[in-house]
Structure 1
Amino acid sequence: MLTLSGWAHVAVIPAATATIQRDGGYAMELTFDVLAFALNKTPEDVTIGPMNDLLDGPEDVLAARLAEAAATFKNEFAVLEDGRSGTVETLAFPSVDDVRRHEKAMTMARLPVLLALTVQGRLPAGARSVSFRLPSKLGMSSLSVVRQDQPVGVLVVDAGVVSSPLPVTLDVAPSAPTPNDPAASPVAEPSRWEWAKRYVGLGFVHIVPKGLDHILFVLGLFLLGNRLGPLLMQVTAFTVAHSITLALSMYGIVRLSLHIVEPLIALSIAFVAAENIFTDKLHRWRLIVVFGFGLIHGLGFASVLTDLGLPRREFATALVSFNLGVEGGQLAVIGLAMLAVGYWRRRPWYRRAIVLPASVVIAAIGLFWAIQRALPYSP
């Protein structure tokens, strides 16, 4: 089921920070979409109707859902070392009171309900490395691991998949490892190539399937005209522009509130689609407009990377790789659109039967999002 929630774009990827102590203890704080998880849905799959029903329904129903979610998290979460599991000693899961306090504090949007949980425990005895498994319904997550005397490790953890191992140094020595014991060898930090692969994948997923607003914008570009060259020029202008503001924002040079960026992104979708309705020719000034909208979209991409964090040692690698992933996602959208309707792009009825109806739908969605994102939430 397709959701047209105005906040679909800013439903952030769950972000966690785990701190490893020298005595083998660990503590993790995870910020995530509590209602989506309570409904047993990933953030991209959940729709606003069930979440609103949960918020507006009886307190005992919400409490029961949160209790079930806490049990699910504790059951699926794991701290591992070479196949051995650590312990979970305490889990502080968001309560009904936490949800109500969040609801009262929100002035711009009711959803998503982003709250934090904390979990504490101990690594397996004698651990030399550490991996994490997060519950599958969190979806793709970002995990920063803070260790003593070592750089912060930033991992992109796929749903329900054990993360890559990171080396740890504990004060308690392991019990007599054998020469062939994998734990006897230090675990290397992720290489530059590994960081690049992770962030290319993250950028791609942010477009396909998670970036519905960016998908609609690219489809708006695709629908005007029937020649591939001008289309690629528009996509190139858009890519160059969002690359500029993404880099400037991540280096702290340009900052703009999401409450401004998100309505502008929605308006860019509506504008491009409306232009498709009122003209059947690609004017030269459209490249300038697309470039300007690309600058705005870059600020939206930056919000994702801000939530995820970037590895300090490979900051530039991760930044460029994320941007390449975004570009790959955009090209994938164009490729799929070409497969779907490209055969008919030069038919005389193509504009009437495909371009106009599709553009009307895209423009309506863009306007709906722009209004919803611009208006403060009133309970």
Structure 2
Amino acid sequence: MRITARGAALLITGPVLLAIGFGFGYPELAVLGCGALVAVLLAVGYALWRPVLGVTRRAEPDRVMRGEDCGMTLTVRNGSRLLAATLVADDRCGPTVVPVPVLRLRPGNDTVTEYPVPTSRRGIVTIGPLRVVRRDPLGLATVGRAHGEVARVWVYPRVHLLSAVPVGVVRSLDGRVDRVPHGTITFDALREYVVGDELRHVHWRTTARIGELMVREHLDTSLPRLVLLLDDRLAAHPDGTTGTGNDLTADSFEAACEAAASIVMATQREELPLALQTVSGEVVGGDGRRPATARSYLDLLAEARLHPAGDGDDLDGAVARLRHRRAGDTLIYLTGPGTNADLGLVGSLRGAYPTIVVGALGAAQAMRAGVEGMVVLSAADGAEFASEWDGVRGW
């Protein structure tokens, strides 16, 4: 609650008038002082009354590509049976504030406000909560409260069409053209049973031991398996850095996210397994906690941010994890302008990953491969990366 300047003036002058009125025998001044204090008390009580509001919001859609249209529909309903809501309200949509008309909202009625959600930047746009300010008629006191839940809109990086993806070392017997899995089917892991799983895949011994249905998950090792490592270290993207905290980003990092999104959509189109990892440790696919779906991959790319030194700034650890648990046969490393030390460190994985592709985004000039057999694609932005990618022969 906040007392306005007018209310503070009455709180100061009220006791003074009372003191002068009683001390010098002026009842009129005493009445004025008492009225001032009573007015402030009534204003506080009026402002403290909490309106019964129902707030619902709906984003259409809640996941969009950068630059696409997205709208928010906000509905505010007065749940009171007797009293009308006379309020001043505004909704926060990312960095902007949107006014919401709630003046003289009758009991049982609602008001609907629609406004666009900014999608010019990759990331997560936080919307809400609705901030409602109640003020007394004399303007002596105001109370601001938050109503409703916070909604989020995922803004994905732009996707550039890639005509092909690496085929890896081991190929399916009939190639990837017919999209039919062939080759060696091997046991990969045990997981909990979900509706739709075949009962012949149930591992009864483990089920009996833990008391829950567990099924065997198999992997076709003849299909090429790709690993995408996104460098989200601030040290890898030193130029063009903007924002602070969780909004810290750089032009080269935005280009790397666009390149990663393009690769994700290309692998989804070709129905190829992909493990997406960040240097800071986030994983989708492979052993990641999130399911390997296009939405999960793109959600991670929308949430990705740059980590300063000491906060996920450990390329050595990421390389060690990839070496310890080989997640595929083709490694794609997306970074900033790139340094020889970083390329050499990633090149040390050549024994575990026969094919290594490096995307140096934001590079002023072409980078050279750190080891033999490494393909380095230097590009200024995501569109140029897609062009360089499609220009590689032998995919």
Report the TM range for the smaller structure's normalisation: under 0.3
Which structure has the larger Rg? Answer: 2
- What's the TM-score once normalised by structure 1's chain length? 0.21
> Per chain length, whose mean CA-contact separation is higher, i.e. which structure has more relative contact order (CA < 8 Å, sep 6+)?
1
Higher strand share goes to which structure? Answer: 2
Q: Which has the higher helix share?
A: 1
TM-score, normalised via structure 2 length: 0.21
